[in-house]
Amino acid sequence: MPNPRAILDHAHTHHYGVPAMCCYNLEGILATVRAAEAKRSPAMILLFPWAVHYANGLLVHAAAEAASTASVPIAVHMDHAQTPEIIRRAADIGGFDGIMVDMSHYEKEENLKLTRELVAYCHERGIATEAEPGRIEGGEDGVADTADLEGMLTTPEESEEFVATGIDWLAPAFGNVHGEYGPRGIQLEYDRLLSIREKVGDRVRLVLHGADPFDKEIFQKCIECGVSKININKVLNNEFVRVWGEKAGKAPLTSVIEEATDAMQKAVEKCINRVIAGYCRLHTPTPDLTLRTAKESMNNPFTL
């Protein structure tokens, strides 16, 4: 199985972002894997806790199977796990390479306490962890909207506190928003993001949330400031909804499913073009991204 830490370590070393696609169905999973293989790019399949509640692990295991048989490194990650119960369940169910321990709806001290405990639980099972200091406003499917909790941006000092919990990846709040950005538009504080990167150094990798409306220029600025993992949701899933709305009931069901998957794959490929930007194309055979560290297994982005 791919080592998600090694995947992000390589992205950090060679200055590109790993596309992490939010998937809700088999079509999204297949689209992500096929796009990554077509572009010779690493990728991540993100599943919300909903996937576990809805199908009791079936979708998780489908994603894990697709990732393990792909010809490029792909990891499966649970995004925004917001209760200790779902985190433990996800860690025990098998199939997840990483879990976001999202206790951001708690006050900071409780957030830190729970994060430390749950990170240890995940690490004991070989699972990488992500956490969110500050509060990235807005909500996504099945994830609590934190806009009613006073929106707070992450400080370098706060980042240090979260690194001390043992997390592998940090998702800072620097003006990014889950869902729609509203009339004020996109207002990112790159100086804040860079100062966080300088504070945490090489101890953790940075994750970008709320990236759906971003263009290539914004992605590159975020990567220059240290981002290694880029979460994408609507860009992928809106294509499924579009094709389904246009073709359902007008064409054979299998044709609609295949067309939706193809459209989603093209959307993922476009995302890869924006966040990889020519810095990484995986050759065949692909690198050893399993149990070895990034330093041991990867040297050149063009011979990855």
Q: What is the pLDDT of residue 141?
A: 52
| CB contact at 8 A, 207 and 19 | no
CA atoms within 13 Å, Cβ hemisphere of 272: 23
**What was the pLDDT predicted at 191?**
98
CA distance 223 to 266: 23
Q: What angle do CA 130, 134, 136 make, to 5 degrees?
A: 80
To 5 degrees, how large is the angle CA 276–CA 277–CA 279?
A: 70
Residue 57: both structure tokens together: 């692990």
105 labeled part of a ligand binding site:
no
The predicted pLDDT at position 143 comes to 47
Ligand-binding site membership of 92 (annotated): no
| 262 is an annotated ligand-binding site residue | no
Contact 163/122 with Cβ under 8 angstroms?
no
Q: Which two three-digit tokens encode residue 122? A: 């995940």
| Residues forming the active site | 79
Neighbours of 170 (CB within 10 A): 24
Residue 61 counted as an annotated binding residue: no
Q: Compute the half-sphere exposure of residue 118: CA atoms within 13 Å on the CB side of its CA.
A: 27
Which pLDDT score is estimated for 170? 98
Residue 217 in tokens: 């220029």
Distance from C-alpha of 196 to C-alpha of 192, rounded to nearest angstrom? 6
What pLDDT score was predicted for residue 285? 46
pLDDT value at position 104?
87
Contact 25, 240 (CB under 8 A): yes
**What domains can you pick out in the chain, each with its CATH number?**
4-297 (3.20.20.70)
For 139, counting Cβ atoms within 10 Å of its Cβ (0-12 exposed, 13-18 middle, 19+ buried), the class is middle
d(CA 72, CA 231): 18
Predicted confidence pLDDT, tens digits, the chain (304 residues)? 679 999 999 999 999 999 999 999 999 999 999 999 999 999 999 999 999 999 999 999 999 999 999 999 999 999 999 999 999 999 999 999 999 999 988 988 999 999 999 999 999 999 999 999 876 655 445 444 444 434 589 999 999 999 999 999 999 999 998 777 778 889 999 999 999 999 999 999 999 999 999 999 999 999 999 999 999 999 999 999 999 999 999 999 999 999 999 999 999 999 999 998 556 666 544 555 554 443 343 334 333 4
